[in-house]
Amino acid sequence: MIVFNAGLPRSGTVLVGAIVRAMFEGEGATVTQHNPHGPELAVLLSKLLEARSEGAQVDLIHTHGWPDVLPHEFLANDNVTGFLCHRDPRDVCVSLMGLHDMTFEEAVEFTLGNLSLFYAMRSQTAWPTIDYRDLHDRKLDQIHGIAKHLGFQLSEERAHQIDDATSVTRHRAIMEQLRAGNVNHMIVRKNRHRDLREDAHSLINDRHIQSGEIGRWRRELSPEQQATVTAAFTSFPDLTSE
C-alpha cells in the first residue's frame, strides 16, 4: 500500500505521517518512509509502480510537491491513498521564517508556490483534507478519522496510545536528541540559510516544533507585514480565517 502524507508545509504533515506509521506498525506492517524532494518524487512514483511489494508492506510518502501529471495507475489504484494537510497560509509563512530563516518576502513567495501544489493535489485526488486547527485542538478525533479512512477499527485505548506516541513531548525529545547529535540516522539538509538536522525515521528536525499557536501571524508580524500577507492570500478564503 502507498500512503501519502502531503499538503502545505508546516501544516501537520509530519504528525499525520507519524500517526499513520503508528497505526500500520501496530498491526504488524512494515512501513518504509520516503521523503522525496523536487524531482525525486516523480522518480520514486515510477519505481513504486514498477515494483509493488507483496504482503504487509506500506510505502509512506511525505511530500509537499506534486508531479505535473500524476500517473493514471496511481489515481485508479485502490492501494494508493493519502491525506492532504492545510493551514492558514499566513501562519505557514511565519513558521517557515522560523524554521528556515527565510526572509518575510521569501516565505510569502514560497507559500504561494506551495498553495498551487496543494490545490493541484486536491483537484486530482479524493483524499481527506486535514485542517491544522483540528490536529491542534481535536487530535484524538483526527486519529479516529485517519484510522477510518485506512480501514482500521481503533479502540479508545489504542487511539490514546497513538496519541501518546506522537505527542509534542515525544517529538520535542527527538528535537533535543538531534541538537545533541544523538540520533542514529540523522540527515543534514542544506538550504539557502542554514543546515537542518533531521531524523530520517520520524522526519522531525531540530527546529520542528515551534509555538504551535494558531494565528501567530498576528503576534509575530508587523502591522505592515500582516496587511501584506492578508492581501497576498485573499484568493484562498477556504484556508484563511479572521
Using 50, 70 and 90 to split pLDDT, how confident is the model at 196?
confident
Cell 502507498 locates to 2
Residue 54's pLDDT is 54
Cβ-Cβ contacts under 8 Å for 195 (sequence gap 6 or more): 188, 189
State the residue for C-alpha cell 492532504.
84
What's the distance, CA 99 to chain centroid? 14
pLDDT digits (tens, 9 = 90+) for 164-184: 999 999 999 999 999 998 888
Q: What burial class does residue 17 get, using C-beta atoms within 10 Å of its C-beta: 0-12 exposed, 13-18 middle, 19+ buried?
A: buried
Which CATH entry fits the domain spanning 2-166+211-232: 3.40.50.1260, 3.40.1390.40, 3.30.930.10, 3.40.50.300?
A: 3.40.50.300
The pLDDT confidence band at residue 71, using thresholds 50, 70 and 90, is low
Q: What is the pLDDT of residues 116-152, one digit of tens each?
A: 999 988 988 889 999 999 999 999 999 999 999 999 9
Residues 6 or more apart from 202 whose CB is under 8 A from it?
Answer: 14, 18, 171, 174
The per-residue pLDDT for range 43-64, each reduced to its tens digit, is 888 888 777 655 568 999 999 9
Contact, 10 vs 62, CB < 8 A?
Answer: no
The string of pLDDT tens digits covering residues 7-34 is 999 999 999 999 999 999 998 899 999 9
Query: CA-to-CA distance for 236 and 234, rounded, in angstroms?
Result: 5
> Would you state the pLDDT for residue 34?
93
pLDDT tens digits for 80-123?
899 999 999 999 999 999 998 999 999 999 999 999 999 988 98
Average pLDDT, the chain: 90
pLDDT of residue 69: 67
**Strand 195-199 to strand 186-190: parallel, antiparallel, or no bridges (unpaired)?**
antiparallel
Q: Say yes or no to pLDDT of 72 above 80.
A: no
213 vs 226, more confident: 226
What pairs with residue 85 in β-bridges?
7, 130
Q: Does the pLDDT of residue 156 top 90, yes or no? A: yes
pLDDT reported for residue 128: 95
